[in-house]
Amino acid sequence: KYLKNLLLLTTILLLTYACTAKKEIEEYQSILKIEKPGEQVSRLIKFIYDHPQSDSTPKAVSRVLNILNTEPGNPDAAMQFSTDLLPVQISPPARDLLYRYIFSKIVEDSASVNQMVSNTSGLATTSAALAIFPYMNQCFQTDSLRNRQMLKLGKIIVESDYQNPEKLIALSDTILGYNDTTFLNLSNQLLLKALRANRPDSSSRADSVYKNLNFQIYLKLARNAYHQKKFQYALNLISQCAKYGDLQQENALILLGAIQAQTGELTEGWGHVLKGLVLNITAEKEDPEIEKIYITLFRKIRGSREDPARFIEQYRRSHQ
C-alpha cells in the first residue's frame, strides 16, 4: 500500500510538472509572436521574473539580451537588465547566460570569459555581486545608471553574511574612487560591516593585522564623516582610530587637524595639519583635498597676503 501511494504521488507530481512546463512553453511562444520589440522585451522580462526556474527562462534571457543589444537609444539597457536580474534565483543555465554577457563586457577574450563564468557558475548571488562590483565602471556608459546599479549590488553585499574585512574595505575604496558623494552611505555600510567582521583570532589573524585593519576602517569612516560634514562624529571616529595605530601615518594628522578646525579647535587643528605636512612632504601635491584643507586653514590663520606654498616650504625646512 505504501509503494502504491508513493507511486501515485510521484505520478501526480510528474503530471503537474509536465502541465506547468507545457503552459510555460506556450506562454513563452506566444510572447515571441509579439512584433513590437519593446513590448516583447517587457513581456519576456515579466515571464523571467514570474517563472525564474522555467526551462524556457534561458531562452527568454538570451532573447532579451539580443533585442536590447540591437535596439538603438540605450546602450546600457542590456547591462541594466542583467544586473537587475542578479538577485533573482533564476535557473543555472539562465544565470550562466547572464554571467557570460556581463563578463564579456569586462574582458575581451573568450577564454577569460569562459574562466570567469566557470568560477562564478553555481555561486550565490553575493558571490556574483562581489565578482562584478569592481568592474561596474567598465560595464556602463552612463554614470548615473552605473551608480544606481552599484548601489543595488552594494546592498546585496551589505545584507549578506559575507565576512572578509579586507575585501569589504577594498570595495569601499573602489566606490570612493569615483569621487561621488552618492556612494558615501554605501561606503560607510561596507566599512561598518568590515569592522564587525574584523575580530582578533589567534589561530588565523595576527593581532597586528587586526589593529591595522581597525585603524584603516576608522580612518576611512572619519574621512567619510568629514565629507558628510558630520564633524563631531568624525572627531569621535578618529579618536577610535588612534587606539589602533599612530596618527602620524596615512595623513591622519592632517585629517584630524581639518576636523578640529571645524569643531572649534582652529589653533590645534592648524598645528596638526602643519605637523602632517612635515611628515609627508608631498601630501598637498598628491591629494587636492589636502591642498584645499591646508590653504583654507592658512588663510584663516595667516591671512591673504602671504604665499601658502612659500610658507610651507620654509616651515618644512625649519622643522626637519
Going residue by residue through the chain (320 aa), what tens digit of pLDDT does each one get? Answer: 555 555 545 554 444 544 557 788 888 999 999 999 999 999 999 999 999 999 999 999 999 999 999 877 788 999 999 999 988 889 989 988 988 898 888 887 888 888 877 776 655 678 888 888 988 988 899 999 999 999 999 999 999 999 999 999 999 999 999 989 999 999 999 999 999 999 876 545 678 889 999 999 999 999 999 999 999 999 999 999 999 999 999 999 999 999 999 999 999 999 999 999 999 999 999 999 999 999 999 999 999 999 999 999 999 999 98
Global pTM value: 0.85
pLDDT for the residue 229: 97
Give SS3 for 269: helix
pLDDT for the residue 124: 65
pLDDT for the residue 12: 47
Whether residue 32 is contained in a domain is answered as yes
Whether residue 215 is contained in a domain is answered as no
Q: Which residues contact 78 (CB under 8 A, 6 or more apart)?
A: 64, 65, 68, 69, 101
**Cβ atoms of 24 and 51 closer than 8 Å:** yes
Tell me how many domains the chain contains: 1
- Residue 197 CA to chain centroid, in angstroms? 17
pLDDT for the residue 204: 57
**Residue 288 to residue 299: CA distance in whole angstroms:** 17
**Cβ atoms of 66 and 40 closer than 8 Å:** no
What range does the domain containing 69 cover?
Answer: 1-162
Whether residue 69 is contained in a domain is answered as yes
Residue located via cell numbers 568629514: 226
**Residue 97 to residue 262: CA distance in whole angstroms:** 52
**Cβ atoms of 182 and 147 closer than 8 Å:** yes
pLDDT for the residue 14: 46
How many of the other CB atoms lie within 10 Å of CB of 171?
27
Cell output for 181: 558623494
Alpha-carbon distances, residue 141 vs 75, 109, 215 (angstroms): 7, 20, 36
DSSP state of 183: G
Whether residue 81 is contained in a domain is answered as yes
Cell output for 135: 568592474
Whether residue 248 is contained in a domain is answered as no
Q: Which residues contact 72 (CB under 8 A, 6 or more apart)?
A: none
Q: Which residues contact 203 (CB under 8 A, 6 or more apart)?
A: none
